[in-house]
Structure formats: structure tokens, C-alpha cells
Structure 1
Amino acid sequence: MRISRRAVALAAVLATVLPLSACGGGSDDGSSDASDAVKGKITFQTWNLQANFKDYFNGVIKDFEKEYPGTEVQWIDRPAEGYADKLSADAAGGTLPDVVNVSPDLVTPLAKAGLAMDLDKDETAAAYGKEYLPGAWRSHQIPGLQGTYAFPWYLNTGPMFYNKRLFEEAGLNPEKPPTTYDEVFESGLRLAEQSNGKIATLAQVPTIEDFGRYGASLMNKDGTGFTFNDAKGVEMLTRYKELFDKKALDSQALTATPESSGTKFLTESVAMNPGSALDLEKFKKEAPRLYKNIGITDQVTSTGKVNMYVMGVMVNARTKQKATSVAFAHFVTDKTRQMSFAKQVAIFPSTKGSLDDPYFTKEDGTDETRVRIAAAKSLDSAVNYTPVLFSEQMKTELRNQVAKALQGKVSPQEALDRAVEACDKLLKQS
């Protein structure tokens, strides 16, 4: 299950929120007082999970309250629609829950406003850091700020599907699919040439994650400006234009969506496409020839590290029950609970060692397991390439400029320079 990362407009509201407007209690630096004890009532908010996982979370809460007598956890679940707005309203009104389900982009404005607890400053919370994959722990760190602002929870990623038949017909080895961008570009030109432009390799224009996986620098270290218009970024976009000109990038890529790209792959007019176990089931029912020739490999990357999406659990910096909130946030995200959750839904644990479990390594002949194992192999060193400060508006600006470059209206360098300029302006406005 991938919960989409929604656009966030919290910063403008939170810029006016005084630190003491949130729930009171606790020390100003986010550390727990020595007198803190795991006791008392806290509130825990999730993001669109109650409908499908009510029994699971009620069980987690019951287990926590049993392990820590004298505690009580009130569970609040909010719908996906308007979740960011609700966080904004709670932050401004001083009603932010004690423990909150967030993604990196959602926690960023809260951290800037002093409302997300810095786990690295709390002795107990910081000690838990070694239990998580390093890349997952870093995913809730924010350029320009020192610290880590949420426990990493579940991860998501997906493998790359490819059509073995199309590769073989183009004279390419179907058992050795391209794994780097250079290899994709070379294979793409070969496929397009051999099919007289009828078979494209990819169906979507490059995203910010692609620039990251290619090796471009995305943002400066202090978080004050974007840098994906560097030599690597220009080089990648130049190569994409070559694909587009030679019909190795689908002609409708400029307006493609994940759904339309999936359809292109389903009809075998595109040779490669990212996906999930749900796609395999669809191929099996709707495109048996494709299913018979399906190949599964890692995401394409030239850095050696694939992209991952991550959810987190944040502690309100002003909670009145800091020790209990930290204990519960860790309890929800510890190895036992994450493994249990991963066996109920198609996500991956962020805790060290979990991906070595037979559930993520042992084949059983099912499509779901094939994809799960392929994805899990890549997560140990995966990173979240999307900058936490990169908003939906910024994604649109980048996409528009990439389209202009592919159409030849501007050069790749000019397109990325314009995109960086627009994104920097939006960054200052936030």
C-alpha cells in the first residue's frame, strides 16, 4: 500500500504560530525531563488507516497499555483528503495530537515552527535510532535544521518490470535488463531502431527522483536553494531528449500519468515500467502474453541506491506526556510491530534486520512474493531522493520545463535553470 504524498501548505500558517500556542509541557529543547514517566493519557493520530486496519491498531494500543500500566492511548484517524489542512488547523489552534503519523514533507513545516520534537535531543529517543535503517532515520531530517523529527515507520518502493519478448526481438539479452540510466538509454535507442519507432522504452518524463538516481545534486546542504541544474542534471535531460527525438520515449510521455503509462506497458508498446504486485495480477488477467514474458528487476539507478517512500511517526514537541509519547511512537514503529504490519499490507519495515526475514527473502511461487522479494532486496541502502522541501507546485514547475526541453523549445540547461529559479522562488515564499 502506498499512501500518496500530498501537497502541503502548512508553512505560511505555521510561520505565525508562537511556540507556546501548541500543547504545553516539556522542556523547550525537546528533551525529556528526568522526572518523566511512561504514564498518563496521550492522543495518537493516523492518516487514513482506520477503515482497513482498525483491529491491528486497537491491538497495538492494547499491547502498549498492558506493557505500560497507567497509560491510555486515544486513537484518532483522519481521512486522506484534507489531512495537511487538518494538521495546519491543529497546529495553529494548539490541538496537535501527542503522536502524529506524518511523511517527511508534512513534518517539515511543523519542525520549522518548533512543533515537531527533535528526537536527537532526547536521550531516550536518540538511543532508539540505531534500531532503524540509516536511510530511513535520515528521511525525517530537514536541510537547514539540525536533528531528526520523526521515527521512521513503514517504507515503500517498487521494482521495475520489463518485457522480455521485446528485449529479445531487439537483439538484447532478456536475462540482463538495464539497471543504470546509461544502459536504459542505450537499450532504448536499440529498441526504437529495431521496431521502427513503434516500441518505446519508457512512458514518463524524468521526475526529481530520476535526477537524484542519476546522480544530480538536488539541493544545497543548508536547504536554501535547489541545484538539480548541475552538469549531471543537464546531462540526463539531454539524454532524455535524445530518447524523445528517436521515439525511444513514448510520444505521449509529456502528459502521461502513472495509470496511462501502465496501460502503455500492458499493451506492449512500452518495454519498461515501474509497478507492484497488483500490476502483476492485472497482467495475468488482461495481458497473458505480457505476463508470460514479464521480467522483474530493481529500479533503474546510476548511484547504486534506489528511491524509497517513507512514512513516519512524529512526537509533538509540546506534549504534556513526553515520555509516554516517545515510548508509544517507538512502540508503533519497533521491529515487532513493523513486521506484523508488513504481513497485513504491502509495505516494508524500516527496522534493521527485518528485511532479512524469510517473508522478504523466500520464494513461494506467488506473484505477490516475487515482487515483494525484488523490492525488499533494494531497500537496505535505499534513500528518499525527493527533497522534503520539494512541493507539488515545484514538481509542476520541473515537469513543465522538462516538457519544453524535450520539445526543443529551450535547451536542457535553460529548462533546468528556469525550473530551479521557479522552485527557489516558491521555497522563499514558504
Structure 2
Amino acid sequence: MPMSRRALTAAAVALVLPLSACGSGGDDGGTTDASGKVEGDITFQTWNLRANFKPYFESLIADFENKYPGTHVKWVDQPAEGYPDKLSADAAGGTLPDVVNVSPDLVAPLAEAGLALDLDKAAAQYRSEYLPGAWAGHRIPGKKGMYAFPWYLNTGPLFYNKALFRQAGLDPEQPPKTYDELFADALRMAGQSDGKVATLANVPTIEDFGRYGVPLMNEQGTAFTFNDAKGVELLTRYKQLYDAKALDPQALTATGESAGKKFLTGAVAMNPGSALDLGNFKKNAPSLYRNIGITDQITSTGHVNMYVMGVMVNSRTRHTPAAVAFAHFVTDARHQMSFAKQVAIFPSTAGSLDDPYFTKEDGTDETRVRVAAAKSLKNAVNYTPVLFSEQMKTALRNEVAKALQGKESPKEALDNAVNAADRLLRQG
């Protein structure tokens, strides 16, 4: 039941919205001391946000400059396509902005290169303002410190098609709550439909192993561990689904978009999503919308998966107090709440999710999804290890496909995936 990393910026994307170096102030390095006077010119880089949120960010920057008259913030926005490559090039070329919009996997190599300011040292006074799970979202296994202010969060429920549940003889008001129930219901649905209706449309990803309770990495951050007995158990169960056609036959090559289309057309019975999907269902699949069920993510750990976006401070900036102050300003409770009311995301600040906007329903499905997601985020975690790269994800996906097709045993496949990930980790 994976949601790809795009779910982190799903709200933004849906609206057309996620060596040595120095900051914009010069090339002589910076300081980790953020206690000085907030002044100077800094550059702030976002990730594909200008098109729809230009007024918001221009107002935010103006408010900051009014609060700190000796500052000037230059805002640049980069397109989603090629953003990781752009960060890498800036880091290598010494042109990394002072304050940078990052996700955990993007901050990891910058922190390893000494380019991300350790906020546990430079901004520890702000730690209590954020949800513990969000503050920890930009930590790196085996490395002390925290390397980006938590910004907006996202998560989502599982949607299910009540009509398909009813046709399979399953209670549409009692969706599966555990993995045992999920796999049992999926096998029943496949059997009742002679393999014409699958329950799931995606193969398990690293976050699914995490939700299942599989230890993903050792504490030192030096090796992956998702090939343990519990990991093998999960992949074995998916193999059973695949053989019974309870997992969509095209799952081996499915993307988040293609899986969503499968759900939209009634080819699969369950799919993860967000509040934004409801509008799509209502417009493009009214019969599905009339039969839509909404339930929580299934997890063995008691913690749902959380996607977190962050704001990093360049450790080489010449204006550390200003850069830290601005990164905090962007991500403080007032501004996160303001941003969250413009687009379907969630603030990472402590107490914000207790606001009536996230706790009171008004009878609409959209509000129901928002309230349920906000509640689950209070103790959510980001299961995807920050050191798990796109290459590692591809290696895991390829090995999972071999296991489902019977070309390798689940144990062999996961051993190979771990070996490939460990090799890539050592290469840096």
C-alpha cells in the first residue's frame, strides 16, 4: 500500500506545487553561532512553489524584512524536475543558497558533506515548537544532529470501494484494520471475482516494510536490515496475493498514478490517497464517489507513515543568525497554519493539529479525511530511511518483482536487495 515520495508534496503538485560550498554572502565560510544580530542579505530557495503560492511567499518575506529591518531575502524557486541534481550542482559549485527547501533524502548528502547546519546545536531553543516525529525527520542514522527545520507534513488514509467489498460478500462498513484482515479480505475478493478484482495495485516498498514492523537499518546507519524474518514474511504474503490475483497483475510496473487510475475504474478495491483525491473521485468517477470508504493506514507499529518537508540552513552562510531566523520564521506555527489553509497539507508544529480546523468535522468527506489524518500525524513517523536513495528503491523494486514472479525466493530477493543497498551506501 505504498504512497510514493510525491505524496509528500501531493497537495502542491496537484495544484502545480517539493566538496565545499558557500551561501550567497561570500566564499569564506560561515559560523554555527546563530545568536548574533539578525541582519544581512540571504537567498531562500523553494521547490516548485512559485506558480501557485507567489503572493503567500512574497507576503511572508515582506513580514520578515519588516520584523528585521537589516535583512533582505532573495527568493528563488526551482522546478520539480531535476531538483536533486540542481542541489548537487550548487553544492559542488559553491552556490548553495543560504536557506533551502529539502526533503530528508536530499538533506542527507548535504549534511554528510558538512553543508547543512546542525540545528540541534544552532537552534535547539526551537525544538519544543515542533512535533517530536517531525523534528526527528531530518536526522541521519549514525550521525549526531538534526539538519532541517520541519516544515509541512502529509499523510493520508486508505480509500476503498464499498461496492466491490459488498460484491465479495465483505461488510463494506468493516474494512480491514490489520494485516491479517487485509490479506484475508484480499484473497476472498480475488476468489469471489475469479481473479478479476484485485485489492491492491502496488508492490511493497520500503515504507511498507517499515509499517509492517520490519527493522529497516541498523542504529549506526551503516547497513540495511529489511531482509530479516519479518521482512521475508511480508514479501511471502504479497507473493500469495500475486499468485491469487489479489494483487493487480500490473503491480510490478505500477506507478502511483497508474494505481490511482486502477482504483478509479474499479479494477482494484483499495488505494492510499489524500483529501485531494476526493474531488477527483467526485468529478471523474461519481459512482465510485458514492461508494467510497475511508479507513486508516494499516500498520503493525501503531504509527502511520508521515512525509515531511524541511527547510535547511547552509552551514557556510555568512549570515547564520539571519538564515536561522528566517528558516524558523517560515516554519513557525503561525505561518505553517496559514500555509496549511491554502493547500491540503499539515503543519509540523506542536499544538497546531489541535486547532478546530483539524479537529472539527462539518459533515463533508474532505473534512473527515483532514481530521483523521491530522489525528494520526501526532505520533506518525517517516519510515523511509533518509539514506535510502532512488537507486536503492529501484533495486528493492526489481528484487521484489523477481520474488513475486517466482524467479527468486522472498529471502533471496531481500538478501539481494539489501546487498545492493549496502553497496550503494558504501559508495556514498
TM-score tier by shorter-chain length is over 0.9
Which amino acid is the alignment partner of residue 53 of structure 1? F
Normalised by the size of structure 2, how large is the TM-score?
0.92
Which amino acid is the alignment partner of residue 304 of structure 1? G
| Comparing 188-197 and 311-320, the one that deviates more | 188-197
> What is aligned with 2:13?
none
> What is aligned with 1:95?
95
User: How big is the shift at 1:2?
Assistant: 4.2
> What is aligned with 1:158?
156
Structure-to-structure mapping, 1:377-416, within 5 angstroms: 377-416=375-414
Q: Does 1:3 align with 2:9?
A: yes
> What is aligned with 2:199?
201
Structure-to-structure mapping, 1:165-180, within 5 angstroms: 165-180=163-178
Q: Does 1:17 align with 2:15?
A: no
> What is aligned with 1:313?
311
The Cα offsets for residues 363-418 of structure 1, whole Å up to 9 and x where unpaired, read as: 23444323222322211111111111111111111011111111111110000000
Structure-to-structure mapping, 1:234-253, within 5 angstroms: 234-253=232-251
> What is aligned with 1:220?
218
Matched-pair contact (CA < 8 Å) for 2:129–2:350: yes
Q: Give the whole-Å Cα distance in 2 for the aligned partners of 1:294 and 1:3.
A: 23
Aligned equivalent of 2:336, options 304, 321, 338: 338
Matched-pair contact (CA < 8 Å) for 2:140–2:146: yes
> What is aligned with 2:299?
301
Q: Give the whole-Å Cα distance in 2 for the aligned partners of 1:397 and 1:258.
A: 18
User: How big is the shift at 1:19?
Assistant: 8.8
Matched-pair contact (CA < 8 Å) for 1:23–1:95: no
Percent of pairs identical after alignment? Answer: 74
Matched-pair contact (CA < 8 Å) for 2:22–2:314: no
Q: Does 1:353 align with 2:351?
A: yes
User: How big is the shift at 1:329?
Assistant: 0.6
Q: Any unmatched runs of 5+ in structure 1?
A: 5-15
Matched-pair contact (CA < 8 Å) for 2:276–2:344: no
The Cα offsets for residues 166-198 of structure 1, whole Å up to 9 and x where unpaired, read as: 223323222221122222111111212222222
Structure-to-structure mapping, 1:17-56, within 5 angstroms: 17=20, 23-27=27-31, 30-32=32-34, 36-56=36-56
SS in 1 for 2:9: coil
> What is aligned with 2:15?
none
> What is aligned with 2:374?
376
Q: Give the whole-Å Cα distance in 1 for the aligned partners of 2:198 and 2:103.
A: 34
Q: Give the whole-Å Cα distance in 1 for the aligned partners of 2:226 and 2:22.
A: 34
Q: Give the whole-Å Cα distance in 1 for the aligned partners of 2:336 and 2:23.
A: 33
SS in 2 for 1:3: helix
> What is aligned with 1:74?
74
Aligned residues: 413
The Cα offsets for residues 293-323 of structure 1, whole Å up to 9 and x where unpaired, read as: 1101111211111111111001111211111
Q: Give the whole-Å Cα distance in 1 for the aligned partners of 2:98 and 2:27.
A: 8
> What is aligned with 2:118?
118
Q: Give the whole-Å Cα distance in 1 for the aligned partners of 2:262 and 2:73.
A: 47
Q: Give the whole-Å Cα distance in 2 for the aligned partners of 1:216 and 1:19.
A: 40
Q: Give the whole-Å Cα distance in 1 for the aligned partners of 2:30 and 2:68.
A: 20
Q: 1:286 to 1:82 in 2, by over 3 A?
A: closer
The Cα offsets for residues 127-171 of structure 1, whole Å up to 9 and x where unpaired, read as: 101111111110100012100000000011111101112223323
Matched-pair contact (CA < 8 Å) for 2:100–2:314: yes
Q: 1:418 to 1:61 in 2, by over 3 A?
A: same
Q: Give the whole-Å Cα distance in 1 for the aligned partners of 2:174 and 2:47.
A: 40
Q: Does 1:417 align with 2:423?
A: no
Normalised by the size of structure 1, how large is the TM-score?
0.92
Q: Give the whole-Å Cα distance in 1 for the aligned partners of 2:23 and 2:344.
A: 39
| Comparing 299-308 and 331-340, the one that deviates more | 299-308
Q: Any unmatched runs of 5+ in structure 2?
A: 1-6, 11-18
Matched-pair contact (CA < 8 Å) for 1:244–1:250: yes
Q: Give the whole-Å Cα distance in 2 for the aligned partners of 1:287 and 1:20.
A: 49
Q: 1:23 to 1:295 in 2, by over 3 A?
A: farther
Structure-to-structure mapping, 1:273-288, within 5 angstroms: 273-288=271-286
SS in 1 for 2:249: coil
Q: Give the whole-Å Cα distance in 2 for the aligned partners of 1:175 and 1:224.
A: 45
User: How big is the shift at 1:73?
Assistant: 1.3
Alignment RMSD (CA, Å): 1.9
The Cα offsets for residues 242-289 of structure 1, whole Å up to 9 and x where unpaired, read as: 111111111111111222211221222211101223322222233222
Q: Give the whole-Å Cα distance in 1 for the aligned partners of 2:79 and 2:255.
A: 24
Matched-pair contact (CA < 8 Å) for 2:232–2:411: yes
